[in-house]
């Protein structure tokens, strides 16, 4: 990789410090060409005081310059960081100056990480985490991506992989060397149970992770005039939707992004449901139903005291949260009670929504769709292995473990050149 | 100059099967071997079969080979391994009378009118224009042939080690072959070096059998389809089990410095599944004792083979540690254990028929190809001999698919992946393990043997008739809606009311096919899914692996040489570091939208399928 890449490493907003980062063989040259005060050669990992100059020699800014020679750097290549004042205009100017160097070009999104990964500085889950971090929009998503970047996902998958390989090796050792490994020495059942629990937890975490990358839709629905639009506005804290005493006010689906307890959501208000709606209103209701079909959570809004059953029947209970609106008008009733006009019950409703979508405090593991499909395969084969352990023979258990290993290898993106026999020979005293 | 259709060099386990296969095709065969009286000698353990090996023997038998039959004739003791662990891993192991086994095989050779055995050493292979034309013996005699099968086992440049003492020889009591290695090299083949070892032989009457746990034989069952169960003699031998002790391990540890392995005097690589006892003690210090199986070499043989104590320590140390083992306190050693180092020919130089890529008509089989074990050698011998014979006759070769036989997996692994230690077959090497059973080898392979000309019509008919009985029973089960009942754990065919009357082996087959149906279908579906998703991800056609940073030199070399086309191909390659697969995935899945000029650094830009006619590319 002969080119050198440059990018502004800090966010687009104005801040106290802004960083411009370069990686590649020409990093030092490029910086030396636009600064005064950088010794040649620069001292590795030392903060040099430098002045960045414009093409005509005029000083642009004073700052610090740090040089991390290859391979002991973020990317494994020579990395130079310029720490300047955090003005976006200034940083763009400095970047443009650096791009005047013939072999320096602008980095592609995620390219620093790609290079780090290619040079063996981070593994695939971490490389993916960087991509997720770049796209993360809610606080939780940022924290989950940061955890993955710290290696949490990698170590979690690594743990699962080690346990599965060890168990598979134990079973194969018994099958290939029956005289060396006897039945009573096998510990398949408990180890399999532990593996299944880990895979289960991973699936839950991956579900939570999926919420973070694809912000879930929460849809308010219910009969006309139930107070959905009023509730929508109250939850947003602004007057987005038109509210009116006449039924059938809302027609289009209204959307707004909210972030509660760090979790980003798409909140939607829909047309009230009723029979016998006329053409235009009926089209609005159809749109509302379509939104309802795709909702991660449907909030069934029915005035307190009114019959709920017909409206609740629209959506299965596991995807539905029941709310009694206009609780000021009726003293009793089931469901979460809200009084939109004075804000009573609103915070409880927000908390209930977040709790339903993200039941654990687990930050979530960020997996791609492809990886989640592999995880499902892994769980299916571990389940089949456990069943075979009770009802069938050890060779069937071994077969399912082999398939589980293949699924896990697919999930982690590794697995080339891994042979269960290597594991058998390394772990077991076998052979004559 | 004398002529033959096929010359077989070496009459070990590979050579015997090769020579018999050619002769049974009706060809003129000359088999040259160092000593006629040593034909089909078992160099090591006097047992045929075992895990995966029993499968090979059954497959060999179904194809028309001889090994199973010889084991039936010479068997003295028999066990079924993995009896309770499933029908596909269940394996037969027959202990033989060493001399009777060799006699049985020699008898089979003598019965072939077109097979001539010649005592002598082949010193060179003759060739012309990239094709083998015959062999030259050390005596100066030359023989011409249209194909040559070389099966010289551990004999090429062989060196034996007992402790620090070294002597030239491929096996105790035999010489080494010295000329042939140079001749193979001259033909363009590369050779490597491996080592293997064998334990000491003990005097039977010096063992205190009463202090060991007896291991009696099971009732004898035929290995070969050609053997009538009623004619099988009763077991004649009882084996025994004993264990090493802390005192044994202490003796070994104190004398490690005298082992040629630990001194580094042996440079060839030995098999991991056949570690020496000193190796086991060093690597698994937590294991307080190791098991020994004491196996008499025949009903009247004065010798006992102790399985589990391979060693290359000096004789005095061997005797000292043996005498610390329960039952062996007063043991006398007839022959000390030793290790052999020898040349082998890396089998990636061969086609799937075991013919050399570089030299037409030259086939290699057996331990020469870097394998270990009689059964592995015999299977290769049969296929190499058969394919040599078919080539001479102008007939198409026989290459089995991995789904058809463990033997096919063996050959495929050898020629596509090569070996980095003496290669032994394991059932886990097969992705089709559940369907490659000892019990169904007959139906998997007899038709192939018949088509090739090794299995007689009457034998083939018998197999078809047996299959018809299995199919009829399966039909009855389905009509009576009893399949799910039979699938329950513990339910046997004869538990079902009105069950068809089948001999035991056929009833077993029916039960297994029904009980495993679901698992087999699931495994197939899963493999399909895996290959669909990964094989669907194509790599750029002109991917330049050599330019990919972060890959080890070996990975780059392997990837460039084998040119995987999809991510699935990459995963199936062996010996790659995991990063190679990650890289292939990332590269194949990376966004191609922008930055092609520099994004293409890893390889050239992937071409859309149709654009290959584009003059620019
Ligand atoms: C010391 C020792 C220890 C072993 N230990 C094990 C073990 O622990 N486990 C295991 O599974 N296997 C072991 N084996 C391997 C097993 O014996 C072989 O794998 C098997 O016998 C190989 O069969 P083959 O036909 O390839 O060769 P062999 O059985 O070795 O036969 C080779 C034949 O070729 C002949 N020959 C050689 N060179 C020439 C020539 N130039 N001209 C004419 N004839 C020639 C020889 O006379 C011999 O008959 C061991 C072998 C030895 C020698
Ligand atoms: N007393 C009382 N009135 C409410 C409350 N919430 C809403 N309303 C009134 O109920 C009427 C209908 O409210 P909307 O929010 O438009 O109801 P909607 O469910 O969106 O109605 P459609 O869009 O027609 O389906 C308005 O007059 C609101 O002022 C509440 O908590 N208490
Ligand atoms: Mg409304």
Any bridge partners for residue B490, and if so which?
none
**DSSP character for A65?**
E
The arithmetic mean of pLDDT across residues A294-310, rounded, is: 91
Q: Please give the residue of chain B at the shortest CA–CA distance from A71.
A: B550
State pLDDT tens for residues B583-617: 665 555 544 433 333 333 333 333 333 333 333 33
Chain B residues within an 8 Å CB radius of A24 = none
Question: Left if phi > 0, otherwise alpha if psi is -120 to 50, otherwise beta: which for B86?
Answer: left
A414 → closest Cβ in B434, B489, B578: B578
How far is ligand 2, taken at its centre, from the CA of residue A292, in Å? 20
State pLDDT tens for residues B193-247: 998 878 889 999 999 999 999 999 999 999 999 999 999 989 999 999 999 999 9
**Ligand 2 pocket: which of A223, A224, A226, A230 to mutate (most atoms within 8 A of CB):** A230
Across A115-119, A359-363, B30-34, B341-345, least confident range: A359-363
Any bridge partners for residue A52, and if so which?
A35, A61
Burial pattern B112-150, b for ≥16 Cβ within 10 A else e, equals: beebbbbebbbbbbbbeeeebbbbbbeeeeebbbbbbbb
How far is ligand 1, taken at its centre, from the CA of residue B339, in Å? 13
The dihedral formed by the CA atoms of A141, A147, A150 and A151, expressed in degrees to the nearest 10: -110
Tokens of B237: 């031998």
Residue nearest to atom 35 of ligand 1 (CA): B10
How far is ligand 1, taken at its centre, from the CA of residue B166, in Å? 18
State pLDDT tens for residues A249-265: 999 999 998 888 777 88
**Ligand 2 pocket: which of A222, A224, A227, A289 to mutate (most atoms within 8 A of CB):** A227
How far is ligand 1, taken at its centre, from the CA of residue B154, in Å? 5
**Backbone phi and psi for residue B542, each to the nearest 5 degrees, phi listed first:** -110, 35
A406 to B88: CB separation less than 8 angstroms, yes or no: no
pLDDT of residue B151: 97
pLDDT of residue B164: 65
The residue ranges of DSSP E strands in A187-319, in sequence order, are 217-221, 254-260, 263-269, 297-303
pLDDT of residue A184: 80
Tally C-beta pairs within 8 A across A and B: 157
Q: Please give the residue of chain A at the shortest CA–CA distance from B294.
A: A432
Which residues make Cβ contacts (< 8 Å) with residue A228, sequence separation at least 6? A220, A221, A222, A250, A269, A270, A272, A301, A325
Which residues make Cβ contacts (< 8 Å) with residue A147, sequence separation at least 6? A129, A153, A363
Report the distance separating Cα B235 and Cα B226, nearest Å: 19
Q: Which atom of ligand 1 is nearest to the CA of B197?
A: 3
Nearest to B433 by CA among B93, B89, B91, B90: B89
Q: Does residue B312 contact residue B162 with C-beta atoms inside 8 Å? A: yes
How far is ligand 1, taken at its centre, from the CA of residue B167, in Å? 17
Which ligand has the nearest atom to the CA of B181?
1
| Largest interatomic CA distance in chain B | 85
**DSSP character for B444?**
H
A388 to B519: CB separation less than 8 angstroms, yes or no: yes
Model pTM above 0.80? no
Tokens of A328: 């000021």
A429 to B574: CB separation less than 8 angstroms, yes or no: no
Any bridge partners for residue A178, and if so which?
none
* Residue A262 vs residues A137, A349, B57, B119, B294: alpha-carbon distances, Å: 10, 16, 65, 86, 70
B272 to A431: CB separation less than 8 angstroms, yes or no: yes
State pLDDT tens for residues B406-420: 999 999 989 988 888
pLDDT of residue B598: 33
Residue keyed to tokens 């456990």:
A386
pLDDT of residue B337: 82
| Domains of chain A and CATH, by start | 4-107 (3.30.1360.120), 130-211+368-426 (1.20.120.430), 217-357 (3.40.50.300)
What ipTM is given for this predicted complex? 0.80
B86 → closest Cβ in A393, A400, A429: A393
Q: Strand, coil or helix: what is B188?
A: coil
Residue B33 Cβ inside 6 Å of ligand 1? The answer reads yes
Q: Which atom of ligand 2 is nearest to the CA of A242?
A: 16
Distance (Å) from the alpha carbon of A432 to chain B's nearest alpha carbon:
4
Distance (Å) from the alpha carbon of A262 to chain B's nearest alpha carbon:
30
Residue B276 Cβ inside 6 Å of ligand 1? The answer reads no
What is chain B's mean pLDDT, rounded? Answer: 87
State pLDDT tens for residues B530-546: 666 666 667 777 677 77
Q: Which atom of ligand 2 is nearest to the CA of A225?
A: 21
Residue keyed to tokens 């509210």:
A243
**Ligand 2 pocket: which of A222, A225, A248 to mutate (most atoms within 8 A of CB):** A225
State pLDDT tens for residues B317-346: 999 999 999 999 999 999 888 888 899 999
Q: Considering only residues 109 to 128 of chain A, which have any Cβ-Cβ distance to chain B shorter than 8 Å?
A: 114, 117-120, 123-124, 127
Share above pLDDT 90 across residues of chain A, in percent, rounded to a whole number: 43
**DSSP-assigned states of every residue in A150-203:** TTHHHHHHHHHHHHHHHHHHHHHHHHH-TTTS-GGG--HHHHHHHHHHHHHHHH
Report whether pLDDT(B142) > 70.
Answer: yes
pLDDT of residue A133: 63
Report the distance separating Cα B507 and Cα B232, nearest Å: 21
Q: Please give the residue of chain B at the shortest CA–CA distance from A105.
A: B598
State pLDDT tens for residues B160-184: 877 667 777 766 677 777 889 999 9
Output the CA torsion sign for B347, B350, B355, B358.
negative
Tokens of B341: 């180092």
pLDDT of residue B30: 98
Report whether pLDDT(B469) > 50.
Answer: yes
Distance (Å) from the alpha carbon of A180 to chain B's nearest alpha carbon:
8
Share above pLDDT 90 across residues of chain B, in percent, rounded to a whole number: 65
How far is ligand 3, taken at its centre, from the CA of residue A427, in Å? 67
pLDDT of residue B605: 34
pLDDT of residue B259: 78
Chain A residues within an 8 Å CB radius of B522 = 384
pLDDT of residue A94: 94
State pLDDT tens for residues A124-156: 666 666 666 656 666 666 666 666 656 667 778
The arithmetic mean of pLDDT across residues B5-32, rounded, is: 98
Q: Considering only residues 402 to 421 of chain A, which have any Cβ-Cβ distance to chain B shorter than 8 Å?
A: 402-403, 406-407, 409-410, 413-421
Residue A246 Cβ inside 6 Å of ligand 2? The answer reads no
Q: Does residue B472 contact residue B505 with C-beta atoms inside 8 Å? A: no
Residue B382 Cβ inside 6 Å of ligand 1? The answer reads no
Nearest 5°: the CA angle B331, B333, B336 is: 140
């Amino acid at each position: 990789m002969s080119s050198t890449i440059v990018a502004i490493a800090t966010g687009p907003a104005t801040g106290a410090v802004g960083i411009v980062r370069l990686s590649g063989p020409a990093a030092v040259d490029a910086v030396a060409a636009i600064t005064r005060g950088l010794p040649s050669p620069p001292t590795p990992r030392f903060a040099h005081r430098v002045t960045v100059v414009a093409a005509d020699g005029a000083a642009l800014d004073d700052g610090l310059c740090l040089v991390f020679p290859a391979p002991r750097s973020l990317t494994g290549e020579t990395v130079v960081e310029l720490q300047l004042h955090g003005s976006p205009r200034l940083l763009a100017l400095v970047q443009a100056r650096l791009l005047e160097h013939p072999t320096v070009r602008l980095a592609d999104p995620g390219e620093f990480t790609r290079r780090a990964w290619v040079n063996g500085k981070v593994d695939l889950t971490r490389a993916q985490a960087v991509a997720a971090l770049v796209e993360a929009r809610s606080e939780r998503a940022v924290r989950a991506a940061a955890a993955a970047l710290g290696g949490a996902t990698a170590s979690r998958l690594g743990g699962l992989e080690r346990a599965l390989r060890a168990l598979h090796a134990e079973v194969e050792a018994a099958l290939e060397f029956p005289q060396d490994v006897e039945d009573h020495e096998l510990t398949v059942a408990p180890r399999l149970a532990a593996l299944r629990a880990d895979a289960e937890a991973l699936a839950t975490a991956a579900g939570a992770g999926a919420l973070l990358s694809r912000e879930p839709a929460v849809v308010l629905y219910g009969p006309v005039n139930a107070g959905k639009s009023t509730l929508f506005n109250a939850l947003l804290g602004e007057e987005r939707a038109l509210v009116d005493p006449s039924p059938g006010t809302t027609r289009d689906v209204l959307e707004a992004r909210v972030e509660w307890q760090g979790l980003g959501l798409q909140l939607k208000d829909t047309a009230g449901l009723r029979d016998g709606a006329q053409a235009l209103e009926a089209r609005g209701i159809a749109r509302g139903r379509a939104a309802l079909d795709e909702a991660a959570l449907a909030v069934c809004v029915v005035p307190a005291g009114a019959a709920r059953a017909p409206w609740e029947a629209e959506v299965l209970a596991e995807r539905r949260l029941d709310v009694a609106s206009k609780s000021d008008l009726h003293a009793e009733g089931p469901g979460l009670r809200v009084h939109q006009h004075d804000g009573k019950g609103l915070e409880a409703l927000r908390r209930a929504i977040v709790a339903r979508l993200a039941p654990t405090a687990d930050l979530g593991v960020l997996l791609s769709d492809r990886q989640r499909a592999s995880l499902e395969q892994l769980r299916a084969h571990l389940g089949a292995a456990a069943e075979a352990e009770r009802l069938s023979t050890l060779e069937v258990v071994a077969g399912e473990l082999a398939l589980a290993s293949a699924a896990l290898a697919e999930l982690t993106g590794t697995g080339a050149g891994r042979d269960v026999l290597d594991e058998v020979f390394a772990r077991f005293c076998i052979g004559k | 100059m004398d002529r033959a259709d096929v010359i077989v060099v070496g009459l070990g386990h590979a050579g015997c099967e090769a020579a018999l296969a050619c002769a049974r095709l009706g060809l003129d065969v000359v088999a040259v071997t160092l000593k006629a009286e040593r034909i089909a000698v078992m160099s090591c353990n006097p047992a045929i079969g075992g895990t995966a090996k029993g499968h090979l023997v059954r497959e060999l038998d179904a194809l028309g080979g001889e090994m199973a039959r010889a084991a039936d004739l010479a068997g003295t003791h028999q066990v079924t391994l993995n009896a309770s662990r499933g029908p596909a891993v269940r394996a037969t192991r027959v202990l033989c009378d060493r001399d009777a086994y060799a006699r049985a095989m020699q008898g089979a050779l003598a019965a072939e009118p077109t097979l001539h055995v010649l005592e002598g050493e082949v010193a060179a292979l003759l060739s012309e224009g990239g094709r083998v034309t015959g062999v030259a013996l050390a005596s100066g005699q030359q023989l011409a042939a249209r194909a040559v099968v070389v099966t010289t086992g551990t004999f090429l440049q062989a060196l034996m080690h007992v402790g620090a003492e070294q002597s030239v020889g491929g096996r105790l009591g035999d010489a080494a072959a010295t000329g042939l290695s140079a001749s193979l090299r001259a033909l363009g083949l590369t050779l490597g070096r491996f080592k293997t070892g064998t334990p000491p032989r003990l005097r039977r009457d010096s063992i205190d059998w009463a202090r060991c746990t007896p291991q009696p034989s099971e009732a004898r069952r035929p290995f070969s389809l050609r053997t009538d169960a009623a004619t099988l003699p009763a077991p004649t031998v009882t084996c025994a089990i004993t264990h090493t002790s802390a005192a044994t391990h202490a003796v070994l540890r104190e004398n490690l410095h005298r082992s040629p392995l630990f001194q580094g005097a042996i440079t060839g690589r030995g098999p991991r599944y056949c570690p020496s006892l000193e190796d086991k003690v060093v690597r698994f210090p937590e294991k307080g004792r190791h098991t020994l199986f004491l196996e008499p070499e025949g009903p009247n043989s004065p010798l006992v083979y102790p399985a589990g104590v391979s060693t290359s320590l000096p004789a005095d140390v061997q005797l000292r540690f043996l005498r610390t083992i329960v039952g062996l306190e007063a043991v006398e050693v007839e022959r000390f254990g030793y290790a052999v180092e020898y040349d082998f020919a890396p089998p990636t130089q061969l086609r799937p028929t075991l013919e050399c890529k570089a030299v037409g008509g030259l086939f290699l089989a057996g331990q020469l190809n870097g394998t270990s074990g009689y059964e592995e050698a015999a299977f290769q011998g049969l296929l190499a001999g058969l394919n040599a014979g078919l080539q001479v006759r102008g007939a198409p070769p026989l290459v089995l698919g991995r789904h058809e036989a463990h033997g096919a997996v063996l050959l495929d692994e050898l020629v596509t992946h090569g070996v980095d230690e003496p290669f032994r077959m394991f059932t886990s090497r097969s992705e089709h393990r559940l369907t490659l059973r000892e019990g169904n080898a007959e139906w998997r392979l007899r038709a192939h043997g018949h088509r090739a000309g090794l299995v007689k019509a009457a034998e083939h008919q018998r197999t078809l008739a047996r299959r018809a009985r299995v199919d009829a029973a399966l039909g009855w089960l389905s009509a009576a809606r009893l399949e799910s009942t039979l699938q329950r754990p513990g339910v046997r065919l004869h538990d079902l009311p009105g069950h068809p009357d089948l001999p035991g082996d056929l009833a077993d087959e029916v039960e297994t096919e029904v009980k495993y149906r679901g698992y087999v279908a699931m495994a197939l579906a899963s493999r399909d899914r895996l290959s669909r998703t990964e094989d669907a991800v194509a790599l750029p056609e002109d991917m330049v692996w050599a330019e990919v940073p972060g890959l080890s030199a070996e990975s780059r070399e392997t990837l460039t040489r084998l040119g995987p086309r999809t991510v699935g191909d990459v995963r199936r390659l062996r010996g790659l570091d995991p990063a190679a697969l990650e890289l292939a995935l990332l590269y194949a899945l990376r966004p191609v939208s922008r930055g092609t000029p520099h994004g293409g650094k890893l390889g050239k830009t992937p071409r859309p399928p149709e654009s290959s006619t584009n003059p620019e590319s």
